[in-house]
Structure 1
Amino acid sequence: MTDDDYPSPWNRYNGTYAGLPVAEVPMDGDGPWPDAGSVAWRLSARSWDGGRIAECFDRFFEHVDTAKVTAIVIGAWEDCYTDSSAPIVRRLADEAGRLPELRSLFLGAISSEESEISWIQQSDITPLLEAYPKLERLEVRGGSGLRLRPVRHEALKVLRFETGGLPGEAVRAVAASELPVLEHLELWLGVPEYGGDSNVSDVEPILRGERLPALRHLGLQDSEIQDELAAAVASAPVVARLETLSLSMGVLTDAGAEALLSGQPLTHLRVLDLHHHYMSDEMMRRVTEALPGVEVDVSENEEPDVDEEDGETWRYVAVDE
């Protein structure tokens, strides 16, 4: 995976996606139209003139040889902060026969100027996995209304959820799914205020790894339970087969880092990503020194907010609203 596979939540994928240059579907005139299989196609509504995403789909299927298309990026749809992605999911599922080579799909590449990440209204995305048995990469931004049912998928290699609050129901569905070739799993768990109501028990089947024999990267990120997750990861069977591990973007403290250091060896990892955390300088040094040869990211060392009146301490995840 390349650098564009680890984006900020504001990346609209109007440059590259899945190793391909991104092409917007022209909505005026006759193009020009690039070769259908040479680009990742970006479909979205046009906010400046009231263009609707359904019209963009119509034009895409009318003018593009969709039998060659391998990658699609779905950007903002009209009123994406009030109207769900259900019509888009349904359209993609219904048109699966016209997209036989689709391998990479991002649903919701929407900038914060268009909608804050936790305002994006998603829906049940299970039909996408059911309709595209050859899909290798599925990424979704926005957790509001997001649903998923347990599935078995023989081709999926990358599954990513960028949210400020990933529903526990969706986490449990991922954990219950049979994904025999999945290599990269990334969950931005978020906070309860935005629907992120999962707990450590929800991810325990993932940590056992029985349904994920090919997993090489695990990201359990952006949560207020980062210390508890770190303690669970410290003894998780799946860790032994990982190449990269991310517990970043959350409120990891010295307690969680201590649990990691006291657990199973992590020296086999290529990368341990802990960026955006609340560890002390001494703990950052200990973690780095304990893992020679491992690329350890302890950047974005945050300071907690302390209420001067009652002494209450506040720590914040990297992405919530």
Structure 2
Amino acid sequence: MTVSDHLSHFAGLPVTDFLHDPRPAGDPGATAWRVRTDYKRPFEEIFQEFLDTVDTTRVSHLITGYDENAAHVPGLLADAAGRLPALRNLFVGDIVFEESEISWIEREDITPLLEAFPGLECLEVRGSQGLQVRPVSSAALRRLRFESGGLPGEVVRGVGACDLPGLEHLDLWLGVENYGGDATVADLAPILSGERFPALRHLGLEDAEIADEIAAAVAGAPIVARLESLSLAMGTLTDEGAEALLSGQPLTHLRRLDLHHHFLSDAMMERVRQALPGVEVNLDAQQKPEDDGDGDEWLFVAVSE
């Protein structure tokens, strides 16, 4: 699987691409604006045009798209915070594979975004090469997502050290070590312990090549008892990991359990369904191991390169 389609909606609003529709009629706060390069002019120039053309005091939803120097986007946005006083929902990096593989998307420290926009309620970031997150406090943030083919352990530890008392939704695409995804279960401990993020209701530890280890840790993690939704999707979950989940703490209180893109046997899939009759369980996209060329089986995550 690759990221092949640009966002058509974001945080409940339809997307308007500034390059295609720079002066739409109506309320500029009624759309999620996407700003990206046109491959002829630098992103900075187009972003400045956006600030000068649109009444950005009304803009609550903003998406950044392709930029040849994507790493500088957080700083550029932070510097413009005074022009975006109503910003509440931000997606950094609506970049599809035809523009750049997800593992090639360069990032930098995104902490200035949370510092410059204290009212930000949703922050989603795609790409992790060079990504950093320093411990930061935000009373407003409700949703935090990182999409990557390999999320560094340093980033996971940074997230776990943040003070986000209102955070309700956390998604981490952990990815594979070959693309920088060196996070371990130990790095996840502050999140799984339940000591952080008291308002958390959804946890996604996804796209992980260590999915079985994560499942075993989740099976006894205190945070699970207060979740409504849990996702271990897109990774390399096998019968071993599913067995650990079923042998651990009860999951019957969940509304949703997302395990799609997995390596479970038919028998284990049925066991999971039978064990969680009142839970909406997603077991779509059953995978089969592939031959790695050396006679061994290769398990693969949904998104890596």
For 1:179 and 1:56, locate their aligned partners in 2 and report how far apart those are by CA, in whole Å.
Answer: 33
For 2:137 and 2:159, locate their aligned partners in 1 and report how far apart those are by CA, in whole Å.
Answer: 10
Q: Which residue of 1 aligns with 2:117?
A: 132
User: How much has 1:130 moved relative to structure 2?
Assistant: 0.6
User: How much has 1:25 moved relative to structure 2?
Assistant: 1.8
Q: What are the ranges of 5 or more consecutive residues in structure 2 without an aligned counterpart? A: none
Q: Which residue of 1 aligns with 2:81?
A: 96
Kept in 2, the 8 Å contact 1:93–1:128? The answer is yes
Q: Which amino acid aligns with 1:128?
A: L
Q: Which residue of 2 aligns with 1:85?
A: 71
1:1-321 pair list within 5 angstroms = 9-13=3-7, 15-26=8-19, 31-47=23-39, 50-77=40-67, 79=68, 83-86=69-72, 88-306=73-291, 311-321=295-305
Change in 2 beyond 3 A, CA 1:183/1:11: farther
For 2:10 and 2:298, locate their aligned partners in 1 and report how far apart those are by CA, in whole Å.
Answer: 36
User: How much has 1:160 moved relative to structure 2?
Assistant: 0.3
Once the two structures are superposed, residues 50-96 of structure 1 have per-residue CA deviations (whole angstroms, 9 ceiling, x without a partner) of 1221121111111211111100000001x2xxx3422x211211111
For 1:173 and 1:40, locate their aligned partners in 2 and report how far apart those are by CA, in whole Å.
Answer: 28
Change in 2 beyond 3 A, CA 1:158/1:11: farther
Once the two structures are superposed, residues 108-134 of structure 1 have per-residue CA deviations (whole angstroms, 9 ceiling, x without a partner) of 000110001111111110100111110
Instruction: Look up the SS of the partner of 1:185 in the other structure.
Output: strand
Q: What are the ranges of 5 or more consecutive residues in structure 1 without an aligned counterpart? A: 1-6
Q: Which amino acid aligns with 2:27?
A: D
Kept in 2, the 8 Å contact 1:153–1:180? The answer is yes
Change in 2 beyond 3 A, CA 1:303/1:176: same
Give aligned-pair identity as a percent. 58
For 1:184 and 1:232, locate their aligned partners in 2 and report how far apart those are by CA, in whole Å.
Answer: 19
Instruction: Look up the SS of the partner of 1:130 in the other structure.
Output: helix
Q: Which amino acid aligns with 2:23?
A: G
Instruction: Look up the SS of the partner of 1:85 in the other structure.
Output: helix
Q: Which amino acid aligns with 2:14?
A: P
User: How much has 1:34 moved relative to structure 2?
Assistant: 4.1
Change in 2 beyond 3 A, CA 1:10/1:280: same
For 1:40 and 1:203, locate their aligned partners in 2 and report how far apart those are by CA, in whole Å.
Answer: 32
RMSD: 1.6
Using structure 1 for the length normalisation, give the TM-score.
0.91
Kept in 2, the 8 Å contact 1:33–1:64? The answer is no
